[in-house]
Structure 1
Amino acid sequence: MSRTRTTLRRAGAVTALTAAGLLAAAGVASAHVTVHPDSYAKGATDGVLTFRVPNEEDTASTTKVQVFLPTDHPVLGVLVHPQDGWSAQVTNTKLKTPLKTDDGTITDAVSEITFTGGKIAPGQYEDFNVAFGQLPDDTDQLTFKALQTYSDGKTVRWIETPSGGQEPENPAPVLKLTAKGADESGSTSTGSPANSKSSASAKSTASSSDSTARGLGIAGLVVGVLGLAAAVFTVLRGRSTGSRAE
């Protein structure tokens, strides 16, 4: 009986460690500053980008978030959604090459948004919503570098880009710009079929990282349960063999 209890305890420990390890790995993998959705159609109009900022520290709060928008492929018509407890300062930069649009020539665009005044406590995250009038149609992706400052003075620089197929330690949020569909006119205004498809895609992509983390956790639990079941089967089989021998 003591051997049985020892075997079951060991199997249970392996189960717990396996599940905990995979869940921890999933948590680390998703604890970056990210942009949601992670893709939009080139030239999309009247949309919203959500910058999700998690707190990775155990003893400090996030007190400042800076998001830098590219000016070589500018995002036009940027508006910041009011955030409870936070103040937003928007910085405009003069474009090297003015853009001609249906509404006239654009000579400057938003290059930085700084959020201050609020706090993101350890173990929590904050979503910062930014509306745009139009995305560029002459590039395949937009990189939004970000700086995250903590109450203890530490600043994490989310500015790195992938190199050699490997994800960097502090990756910058990246928005992929996809080709327009054959049935799309290029304008994805609210209420249009194209915008409905984009919204559905946005919801799917925004939840993909969370689904991956949950999937890893479930996989770890399944592996652990199977290991425990195998251990129990081995014990019972041994006891049955011993009984027949007697």
Structure 2
Amino acid sequence: MNGSHIRLHIRRLAFAAVAALAAVGVTAGPAAAHAEVTASDPRALAENVTLSFTSEAESDSAGIAELRVVLPKGIAPDAVTLKDAPEEWKLTATPDGYAIGGPALATGTDAEYSITVRQLPDEKALAFKTLETYSDGKVSRWIEVPTSGEKVDNPAPLLELKAAAPGARLIVPSPTPSPDPSIVPSAQASAAATRSAPVGAASAQEAGSSTGTVVAVVAAVLLLVAAGAFWWRRRNGSGA
């Protein structure tokens, strides 16, 4: 094999190494799943507003069984009624919001439901901190509220509000929901969680698994490059 062929082979090995490392970077990135909220009338002080929520499924082995939502300041649990939800799902008020759930959805199925709110508060934006509990006990926490435009890993569903309509008034001051003690799943979600490892342990296991995969791929890439370099030196030595 002449020198040009050897150089071509080395370039191919280097390209494969770069591609493999790029793939590692992509797979090691944050999950794309998220939770969102939209409104039929996104204005401050708007009345009888329908809020529609979507929580994207992110598990490959379990379905969403319950969503626990912490209501923002100005919306009390008794000011919310269920409008539409997956079959057999029910809404239950909690001290700081509500829980909605029922039979676990099929794996990979997003959880979509809507509620009616008596009146939106006079705010510029509303954050609905959400916990998603899966049938295997895993809990995804979409509870971070970005400030100053910064990005967060697990953003809570955020609803931007327009200015109130002219003449709009607050119907009756609604009591603010009780402060969420620690944003924990409801009793139904906790019962499901007891059948699996604690959330913290599960997160650590997932992180360890991801890290192990990255290390294995990087090691394989380095081994490939080293083998190519050794082969090149050996061919050069034998050709000299």
Structure-1-length-normalised TM-score: 0.49
Task: Give, in angstroms, the shift of residue 157 of structure 1.
Answer: 3.5
Task: Give, in angstroms, the shift of residue 186 of structure 1.
Answer: 7.8
- In the alignment, what sits opposite 1:161? 145
Aligned residues: CA RMSD: 3.8
Q: Partners of 1:23 and 1:44 in 2: how far apart?
A: 43
Say which SS state the counterpart of residue 40 (structure 1) adopts: coil
Residues 62 and 141 of structure 1: CA distance in aligned 2, closer, same or farther (over 3 Å): same
Letter in 2 for 1:118: A
Structure 1 residue corresponding to 2:105, chosen from 115, 119, 124:
119
Residues 36 and 133 of structure 1: CA distance in aligned 2, closer, same or farther (over 3 Å): closer
Say which SS state the counterpart of residue 67 (structure 2) adopts: strand
Q: Partners of 2:64 and 2:80 in 1: how far apart?
A: 28
- In the alignment, what sits opposite 2:33? 31
Task: Give, in angstroms, the shift of residue 168 of structure 1.
Answer: 4.6
- In the alignment, what sits opposite 2:15? 11
Task: Give, in angstroms, the shift of residue 115 of structure 1.
Answer: 1.4
Letter in 2 for 1:43: L
1:21 aligns with 2:30: no
- In the alignment, what sits opposite 1:70? 72
Say which SS state the counterpart of residue 55 (structure 1) adopts: coil
Runs of 4+ in structure 1 displaced over 6 angstroms? none
Task: Give, in angstroms, the shift of residue 143 of structure 1.
Answer: 1.9
Structure 2 residue corresponding to 1:142, chosen from 109, 126, 132:
126
1:56 aligns with 2:40: no
Q: Partners of 2:101 and 2:73 in 1: how far apart?
A: 20
Q: Partners of 1:45 and 1:23 in 2: how far apart?
A: 44
Identity of aligned residues (%): 29
Task: Give, in angstroms, the shift of residue 120 of structure 1.
Answer: 4.7
Counterpart contact for 1:64–1:148, Cα < 8 Å: yes
Counterpart contact for 1:71–1:111, Cα < 8 Å: no
Q: Partners of 2:148 and 2:73 in 1: how far apart?
A: 25
Q: Which has the higher contact order (CA 8 A, sep 6+)?
A: 1
Q: Can you give the 5+ residue segments of structure 1 that lack an aligned partner in the other structure?
A: 94-109, 188-246
Q: Which has the higher strand share?
A: 1
- In the alignment, what sits opposite 2:84? 81
- In the alignment, what sits opposite 1:176? 160
Q: Partners of 1:186 and 1:45 in 2: how far apart?
A: 13
Counterpart contact for 2:63–2:109, Cα < 8 Å: no
Aligned residues between the structures:
162
